[in-house]
Amino acid sequence: MSDYDKNTKRRVNGVPAIPTTIDANLQQYLRQLNELLEGSVGIRGNALDRNVTVRELVDAGVAESPEKNAKYVPNAVNAQNRGFVGTGRMRMFTSQREKTFRSSTHTFAHGLGRIPDLVQLRAICTAADGDTYEPGDIVVLPGSTTDPDGNDEGGTIIVTTEEVKLFFAANGIGLVVERDGTGGLDVLNDQTEANSRWDIEVKAFVFDTATQGN
């Protein structure tokens, strides 16, 4: 098996000369085999007739690059798999940060080509909020919630093949447990746009699972 490493260039050498001490029939067989090999790599004949490499297809944008640690297994070549097998890949989209506030809506084009397998919504503190959160704090937000007073908090995430859309509630972006050790609840960013104390950021992931001769 061979590793796929985009940084390692292929070195094309000539086919070794056929020994003159072997049987004439075997010499003829090896001579024809040499011509086939040299024509395939472009050493002999018209270069337009040589075989195309995976590297050339990737560089031309025709094929997607296999993961770096994938192994090439000849017996795993079929309609779904070109012989490169591994543990799969992960692709990630990270949005720009935007100010969030009561009843705000946000749309991000993720460019992942299909509906994400996982979406993480994070809030980044930009100004002190309450007694426990300071600038620079990052909180992974929960889903929509309702506080004990009946106020609506939290956000809803809608994903499509092209976008991640966020809709925040009328009374803040999330109900969280304060980190002061008391176990009490607190509402993040129950503010208007003008005095918002938090930015939000979306991370979306897709996982591509490698196949092995299926």
pLDDT at 60: 80
Quick one: 72 and 117 in the same domain? no
Select from 64, 88, 112 the last residue of a domain: 88
Do 84 and 95 lie in a common domain?
A: no
In this structure, are 74 and 114 located in the same domain? no
Looking at the structure, do residues 179 and 111 belong to the same domain, yes or no? Answer: yes
Does 58 lie in the same domain as 154? no
Question: How many residues are listed for the chain in this entry?
Answer: 214
Q: What is the pLDDT of residue 91?
A: 84
Tell me which amino acid residue 28 is. Answer: Q
Closest CA to 137 of 128, 146, 150, 149: 128
Please give the structure tokens belonging to residue 5.
């490493």
Q: HSE of 11 in the Cβ direction (CA atoms, 13 Å)?
A: 2
Rg value, the chain, Cα: 29
For 171-181, write each residue's pLDDT tens digit: 878 777 777 77
139: containing domain: 91-207
Q: Given this model, what pLDDT does residue 211 score? A: 43
* Separation of alpha carbons 177 and 115, rounded Å: 31
Total count of domains within the chain:
2
What pLDDT sits at residue 68?
57
Same domain, 9 and 115: no
Distances (CA, A) of 118 to 80, 96, 195, 206: 24, 18, 31, 7
Domain harbouring 127, CATH code: 2.60.40.10
Asked, for residue 123, whether it belongs to a domain, the answer is yes
pLDDT along the chain (214 residues), means of 10: 57 75 90 87 84 81 64 65 63 91 92 91 88 87 68 86 92 78 76 86 82 43
Rounded to two decimals, the pTM is: 0.56
Say what the pLDDT of residue 64 is. 64
